[in-house]
Amino acid sequence: MYKLIRSLRNLPATGGVQVARCSTSEKNVVPKKMMPGDLVKTPKVTREEIARSNETTAGDMSWRTPWHEKEGQYYSMLKAFYSEDNQTNVLKMIQQPINLTPNSIKNWFAKRKVKTNIALQQYIPERNATLGNDLAAAHFTVYRGGAVKFFDSDKWIKANKFNEYDLPTIFTEDLYLQAIDCTDMDLYYEGLINFKELHGVEWLSLNGCQNLDDWALDRVGHVFSHSLLYLDLRNIPLITHRGIGALSKMDKLKILYVDNIFASREFEMTCLMLQELKPDLDIRVE
Partner 1 sequence: MLFQKISSVCNQGGLLRRFLHTNKVQFRKHEHPFSRTWRILGDDMKKIVNPLKREEERGPYMPLKTLPPHADIVIIGGGAVGSSIAYWIKEKTGLKGLNLVVIEKDLSYSKCSTVLSMGGLRQQFSLPENIHMSLFGAEFMRTLKKRFGEDADVYFTPNGYLMMASEQGAGQLMDNYKLQKELGAVNTLLGKEALKKRFPFLNVDDVELGCLGLEKEGWFDPWSFLCLMRRGAMDLGANYISGEVVDFTFENRDDIYVEGIDMGEYEGLDEIVVKTADGELNHIKFAYAIIAGGGDSGEIARKARIGTGPGMLSIPLPVEKRKRYVYHFECQSNEMPGINTPLTIDYTGTYFRRDGLGGTFLCGLSPEAHEEPSIENLDVDHQFFDERVWPILAHRVPAFNSLKVKNAWGGYYDYNCYDENGIIGPHPYYHNLYMATGFSGHGIQQAPAVGRAVSELILDGGFQTIDLTRLGFDRLIVDKPMFESNIV
By CB under 8 A, the residues from 89 to 148 that bind partner 1 are: 89, 91-92, 95-96
Residue 149 lies near partner 1 (rule: CB under 8 A): no
Closest distance between partner 1 and the C-beta of residue 154, in Å?
34
Closest distance between partner 1 and the C-beta of residue 15, in Å?
9
DSSP line for 150-213: ETT----EE--TTS-----SS--TT--EEEEE-TT----GGGGGGGTT-S---EEE-TT-TT--
Closest distance between partner 1 and the C-beta of residue 181, in Å?
24
Considering only CA atoms, give the Rg of the chain. 29
Looking at 28-36, 154-162, 226-234, 255-263, which segment touches partner 1 (CB under 8 A)? 28-36
Residue 282 backbone phi and psi in degrees, to 5:
-125, 110
Residue 85 lies near partner 1 (rule: CB under 8 A): yes
Which residues 195-214 are close enough to bind partner 1 by CB under 8 A? 214
Residue 83 lies near partner 1 (rule: CB under 8 A): no
126 vs 130: CA distance, rounded Å: 6
273 vs 275: CA distance, rounded Å: 5
Closest distance between partner 1 and the C-beta of residue 184, in Å?
21
167 vs 142: CA distance, rounded Å: 9
Strand partners, 150: 177
Residue 219 lies near partner 1 (rule: CB under 8 A): yes
Residue 80 lies near partner 1 (rule: CB under 8 A): no
Residue 269 lies near partner 1 (rule: CB under 8 A): yes
- Please count the residues of this chain forming the interface with partner 1, following the rule CB under 8 A: 82
82 vs 201: CA distance, rounded Å: 55
Between 3 and 79, CB nearer to partner 1: 3
Residue 76 lies near partner 1 (rule: CB under 8 A): no
Residue 36 lies near partner 1 (rule: CB under 8 A): yes
Between 30 and 170, CB nearer to partner 1: 30
Between 124 and 168, CB nearer to partner 1: 124
**Is residue 228 a contact partner of residue 202, using CB atoms and an 8 Å limit?**
yes
**Is residue 113 a contact partner of residue 150, using CB atoms and an 8 Å limit?**
no
Between 63 and 162, CB nearer to partner 1: 63
57 vs 47: CA distance, rounded Å: 18
Between 56 and 169, CB nearer to partner 1: 56
* Per-residue mark of binding to partner 1, 224-253 (x: CB under 8 A): -x---------------xxx-xx-xx----
Closest distance between partner 1 and the C-beta of residue 150, in Å?
27
Between 60 and 286, CB nearer to partner 1: 60
Strand partners, 177: 150
HSE, side-chain direction, 13 A CA sphere, residue 221: 17
Looking at 5-13, 133-141, 167-175, 201-209, which segment touches partner 1 (CB under 8 A)? 5-13
Which has the closest alpha carbon to 134: 172, 164, 97, 99? 172
Using the 8-state DSSP alphabet, how is residue 256 labeled? E
